[in-house]
Amino acid sequence: MKNIILAPSMLSANFNYLEKDIEMINNSDADWFHLDIMDGVFVPNISFGFPVVKHIKKLAKKPLDVHLMIVNPEKYITEWKNAGADILTVHYEACNHLHRTVQEIKNAGMKAGVSINPHTSVKLLEDILPELDLVLIMSVNPGFGGQSFIKQSLKKIKELREMANISNPSLIIEVDGGVDTKNYKEIVNAGADALVAGSAVFGSANPAETISKLKL
């Protein structure tokens, strides 16, 4: 197995004991904090905003991987940088001017990612792929944690890896949704470099141990 980036999703953390969960991730083998930002418009749920991200940034000892599931993400690029985002991912489906948005993210000093929903073809990313640091493949319908992995996502991961090998070999392919200790090897073998895990980590008896297992 290659060296996998593991990004626990804070959406599944216990917000009554948020500092405790942040410290667990700091001391674990995890690489990033994954933060899902939902507006109740682009997806049918609302999560958290700038104040929570700023609070996590103060305590986190690892990069913040911020995933915007919101409409008009281009309006808030500077604010997310100021809140502490190290990687900022926007949705293909939410951006009318994707290339411009990606450049603005980079100009703000963050790594730029683009995410696609389960129904969106990776072929639509062909023109923007050379400009990206990361592509996030949603392997569940975005908006809620605890969903089952959509098996068709494996084909999309393989297809994207083949595209990236031609135009952007250093591209990080991240997968979010239904990732657990039973399917992670299959996802990595398909071409994924980074795994987002929420329920699988925070719902386990020993989250730090589960994180380590997902990196083996």
What residues act catalytically? 36, 176
SS3 readout for 153-209:
HHHHHHHHHHHHHHHCCCCEEEEECCCCCCCHHHHHHHCCCEEEECHHHHCCCCHHH
Distance (Å, whole) CA 148 – CA 74: 30
Distance (Å, whole) CA 41 – CA 172: 28
For residue 126 the two structure tokens come to 């062909």
For residue 176 the two structure tokens come to 């979010």
Burial classification of residue 2, based on how many CB atoms lie within 10 Å of its CB (0-12 exposed, 13-18 middle, 19 or more buried): exposed
Q: How many CB atoms lie within 10 A of CB 193?
A: 20
User: Is the distance from CB of 185 to CB of 215 less than 8 angstroms?
Assistant: no
